Amino acid sequence: MKKGIIVFILFIFCSVGFGEQAEVIFLQLNDVYEIAPLDNGKAGGMARVASIRNDLISQYGSIYTILSGDFISPSALGTSQYEGQTINGRQMVDVLNSVGLDFVTFGNHEFDYKYDVLQQRIDESKFTWISSNVYHAEFGTNEQFRKNNNILPQYVILKVPGYNKGSMIRIGLLGLCIDANNQPYVFYEDYIKSAQRIYGDIKDSIDCLVGITHLSIDMDKKLAADLPVFSLIMGGHEHENMNHKVGNTIITKADANAKTVYVHKLIFNEQNKLVEIRSDLKKVDTTVTEDPAVKQVVDTWQTRAYDGFRAKGFDPDVVISNFDSPVDGREEVVRNDLCPLGVLIAMSMLDAAKECNAAIFNSGMIRIDDVLSGVITQYDIIRTLPFGGKILRVEMKGSLLKLVLETGRNNKGNGGFLQFYGIEYTASGWKVKNAQIKDDEIYYIAMNDFLLSGKEQDLTYLNKDNPGIVKITSPDPGNKNDLANDIRFAVIEYLKKWKH
């Protein structure tokens, strides 16, 4: 199995005023699902990232642009259709190609799609994927994923000119992903064992080891503690900027959707020894101009996707409400606690379903992984609930309802954690309308169709054949005025009542 590739890239070097030194520059971003600016144009935008990259190249001659996983999904634009097909992250790859991205590693959301869709996106990319611990599981074997039939590298060694003529600084790059999306076509090797194995193979061929990771911060810290040879770990997954130091290892993460980026300057002495890392967090806001060429690609894809949404009855640019206070939709919030965004969606479901006692949905349906504030448009709701879904009226026995609620409570930390409205958990047990749920009583529950598919974690028993379900009423697909046909329309109409 081919384990790596050697990348030779010319790099400018300079003296920084106190001895003979060379510099290597990394531009880091992570968890990017949106190609255009967010927050009413105030934050993010890949055309702005391209400008930052261009400025760094003008200053230093050459840089390496890194994305630490999660970009082709969950992308709201990717759920729209173009040329008769769901876009499925195609716009993300095209824009990242235009930015000039160099290296990525897999994030857990890259595996949201079926294998053939993921393979299409990999094949379309012009950048290099580094996969140190994730394998393609097929026909009982685990092999490296491929790009246009070429094996993806488990590591890359950058060779950069040092200060002394003819010398080379050798930087090893690993790519590690969290085991958080168990698709049948994916096999995860333990991330620490993978890193130790690869370091053992390349340690005599490198001067510095850098990680590109999509792990939780606790996993990153454990990696740094167990393998202290890492100089820098450029991570993702949490969606919030952070900068930690474990021993001599620096761990950084930028804010999701390119609201910030990290610029790392690795400084090497004349013996090609790393002497210092300077890491600066840079805001990507209105003070950064948009690169015209990348903006054109962004605008083209946004127009295509918005046209697809309009064909389904949405008007993405229309303002529907204004949130005076931030509403947190990050995974770490919605998958661990009953939260304001979850209650808002459940209230919208209950309002649309009619004649129900309560509403329940799986928190994994919320995919925005961001904070909503200020002006709220229809597109904000689309990116909050990109996969939509019908609202069903489910008549179920109290015994089953209690089991479902208890399972959801135990699913804390994953997408099977339940958000609800009209239900209360107390020391004496679960209540609906301030009364204890009775096993033999029938309750009318508004529920999203995915939750009733039996595909959610530990809720496989929750399907139309469960004996605890008396009746399921689906909305009439021919009735365009029935908001229950798409949960996003239900939320949009409910929020219009709050507009001010």
Instruction: Give me the domain span that covers residue 457.
Output: 315-496
CA 489 to chain centre: 24
Is 310 within a domain?
A: no
User: Of 237, 257, 292, which residue sits at a domain end?
Assistant: 292
Instruction: Report the distance separating Cα 413 and Cα 169, nearest Å.
Output: 42
Q: How confident is the model at residue 258 (pLDDT cuts 50, 70, 90)?
A: very high
Instruction: Report the distance separating Cα 139 and Cα 142, nearest Å.
Output: 8
Is 489 within a domain?
A: yes
Decide which of 175 and 4 is more confident.
175
pLDDT, residue 332, reads: 87
* 75-84 residue pLDDT tens: 899 999 999 9
Whole-number percent of the chain with pLDDT over 70: 96
Query: Is residue 192 domain-shared with residue 75, that is, in the same domain?
Result: yes
Instruction: Report the distance separating Cα 258 and Cα 44, nearest Å.
Output: 5
Phi/psi for 63 (5° steps) reads -145, 170
Q: How confident is the model at residue 391 (pLDDT cuts 50, 70, 90)?
A: very high
How many distinct structural domains can be found in the chain? 2
Q: Which of 1-10, 330-339, 371-380, 453-462 has the lowest mean pLDDT?
A: 1-10
pLDDT, residue 285, reads: 98
Decide which of 1 and 388 is more confident.
388
Q: Which two tokens stand for residue 479?
A: 């009735």
pLDDT, residue 18, reads: 38
Is 361 within a domain?
A: yes
The CATH code of the domain that includes 387 is 3.90.780.10
Contact 246, 41 (CB under 8 A): no
Residue with tokens 């094996």: 151
User: Of 259, 292, 325, which residue sits at a domain end?
Assistant: 292
pLDDT, residue 9, reads: 32
pLDDT, residue 4, reads: 47
Average pLDDT estimate for 157-164: 94
Query: Is residue 168 domain-shared with residue 254, that is, in the same domain?
Result: yes
Closest CA to 488 of 410, 384, 409, 395: 384
Contact 218, 196 (CB under 8 A): no
Query: Is residue 202 domain-shared with residue 347, that is, in the same domain?
Result: no
Query: Is residue 78 domain-shared with residue 188, that is, in the same domain?
Result: yes
> Which of 138-147, 160-169, 486-495 has maximum average pLDDT?
486-495
Phi/psi for 334 (5° steps) reads -70, -20
Cα dihedral 486/487/492/494 (nearest 10): 120
Q: How confident is the model at residue 74 (pLDDT cuts 50, 70, 90)?
A: confident
Query: Is residue 184 domain-shared with residue 58, that is, in the same domain?
Result: yes
Decide which of 239 and 29 is more confident.
29
Is 384 within a domain?
A: yes
Cα dihedral 125/126/132/136 (nearest 10): 30
pLDDT, residue 349, reads: 98
The CATH code of the domain that includes 168 is 3.60.21.10
pLDDT, residue 40, reads: 86
pLDDT, residue 2, reads: 44
Is 476 within a domain?
A: yes
Query: Is residue 264 domain-shared with residue 333, that is, in the same domain?
Result: no
* 9-61 residue pLDDT tens: 333 333 333 357 899 999 999 999 999 999 889 999 999 999 999 999 999 99
Average pLDDT estimate for 101-115: 96
Average pLDDT estimate for 297-310: 98
Is 343 within a domain?
A: yes
**Average per-residue pLDDT in the chain?**
93
Is 12 within a domain?
A: yes
Is 305 within a domain?
A: no
Query: Is residue 45 domain-shared with residue 89, that is, in the same domain?
Result: yes
Query: Is residue 16 domain-shared with residue 148, that is, in the same domain?
Result: yes
Instruction: Report the distance separating Cα 206 and Cα 209, nearest Å.
Output: 7
Query: Is residue 124 domain-shared with residue 13, that is, in the same domain?
Result: yes
Query: Is residue 169 domain-shared with residue 137, that is, in the same domain?
Result: yes
Query: Is residue 349 domain-shared with residue 243, that is, in the same domain?
Result: no
Query: Is residue 371 domain-shared with residue 286, that is, in the same domain?
Result: no
Q: Is the pLDDT of residue 6 over 70?
A: no
* 173-231 residue pLDDT tens: 999 999 988 899 999 999 999 999 999 999 999 999 999 999 999 999 999 999 999 99
pLDDT, residue 331, reads: 85
Q: How confident is the model at residue 292 (pLDDT cuts 50, 70, 90)?
A: very high
pLDDT, residue 3, reads: 46
Q: Is the pLDDT of residue 118 over 70?
A: yes
Phi/psi for 369 (5° steps) reads 50, 45
User: Of 292, 326, 354, which residue sits at a domain end?
Assistant: 292
